[in-house]
Structure 1
């Protein structure tokens, strides 16, 4: 088996171009046209796109049928949002009647794909009840194709989608098999949602955004939850706004811990793509688990 590709195998300008494509700043045709100048040694622009795109099988850490877990796909009422939001719930099978700490897992801008389901299962194996809602529910759910998912995602009414996530958080905290404490973790788009939830849920017990967009600084005073913020090194689209928001959080007396990981790209925790940085992801995840155990258990 050939060695797994990493971000070091690609030109930095190409990685920035791919980030723009993933976040709908350019379309597929635009990416391929601009990526053509990086194609060499028999590798086409389409081949570069394929190499950079997610490989869910390669990143899977916990199998969907792992006997150590129980999983289900409940639907949550969201009367202020789109009406209903479905999701993926994972719990340790050995929990019995133990009331578990709960974590809301919020996906990137492609809906509830196999990688985010795997994140939920990882949390369940570490003793949490994890619920990953799918913002694409009103459009039929994650379609099984990243390009189609991203296109569908761009058509969502984000105000209603935010209400869907708020409904999911409220539902998860109220479950009788939970211990009443709620954390949230999100990645990219989901990191931004976590930041937003922290401004709207004064009783959120722990919030962990991975490289997510921040709210306007004037909303920082509403944050009561302890924050653990993970940032990539090369991620101008996200990092440019962070200093002003961090300053506002500190001025408001918020409990905030920030880590920026040298040499990393946006998406460094996602182990389905070459932007994954194994060492940084492991450290960030260890910090995340310790943070949740400190505030939720």
Structure 2
């Protein structure tokens, strides 16, 4: 079973209403695994939007993906993400993302007072000390993860709690960084299966 879950939990309600999710791709770009994840979420009854922050470009290696990310630039990528989410923000969005996409999702969620939740798969982002939010947050991450080190995650968790977020962390020992993508060497079928089971339950509770 995943371990490292925070000791405090959200109160489960009987309401099971679908949510609108904006799902951001990783540094690899809009790979088939992202579309498959969106379909999985739609099958659970949710509306899902999948922005393409790279304008159709994808990468075969993480190095190439990071090069595309850096070429476009952080400010431009965030601008594209905000524009993609804006038409749906009045509904109260759930922001979600893979790795780099998780950092994008976190930035948007913390800046959106209507946000309903934040689902992070393999990635987080830094945050300011004055950040404030009351949203539920769920993170799924490999253990160990070279991009999400133990010290970083501890600091991230404490900052999220200080901001007022209700945080769960689920760790998967021995999995690769992007372990939910069947097309990458990081893929771990069992960890991915457990991740989606827990994530779908999280979304049902929002």
* TM-score using structure 1 length: 0.58
SS in 2 for 1:237: coil
CA contact (8 A) 1:111 1:134 kept: yes
Closer, same or farther: CA 255–273 of 1 in aligned 2, 3 Å: same
1 or 2 for the larger relative contact order (CA 8 Å, sep ≥6)?
2
RMSD: 2.2
Give the CA deviation at 1:276: 1.3
1:168 to 78, 84, 108: 84
Closer, same or farther: CA 120–260 of 1 in aligned 2, 3 Å: same
Closer, same or farther: CA 103–149 of 1 in aligned 2, 3 Å: farther
Deviations 1:116-139 (A, max 9, x none): 1221122112111111101112xx
Larger radius of gyration: 1
1:142 to 48, 52, 57: 57
CA contact (8 A) 1:204 1:224 kept: no
Distance across 2 between alignment mates of 1:250 and 1:159: 26
- The alignment status of 1:292 with 2:203, answered yes or no, reads yes
Deviations 1:54-109 (A, max 9, x none): xxxxxxxxxxxxxxxxxxxxxxxxxxxxxxxxxxxxxxxxxxxxx95211111001
2:146 to 233, 236, 245: 236
- The alignment status of 1:158 with 2:74, answered yes or no, reads yes
Q: Which has the higher strand share?
A: 1
1:190 alignment counterpart: 101
Q: Which has the higher helix share?
A: 1
Distance across 1 between alignment mates of 2:18 and 2:141: 29
| Structure 2 spans left out of the alignment, 5+ residues | 1-16
Give the CA deviation at 1:110: 2.3
Give the CA deviation at 1:167: 2.1
| Structure 1 spans left out of the alignment, 5+ residues | 1-98, 175-179
Aligned pairs (5 A) from 1:69-218: 101-137=19-55, 141-142=56-57, 146=60, 150=65, 151-174=67-90, 180-216=91-127, 218=129
* TM-score using structure 2 length: 0.81
1:268 to 169, 175, 179: 179
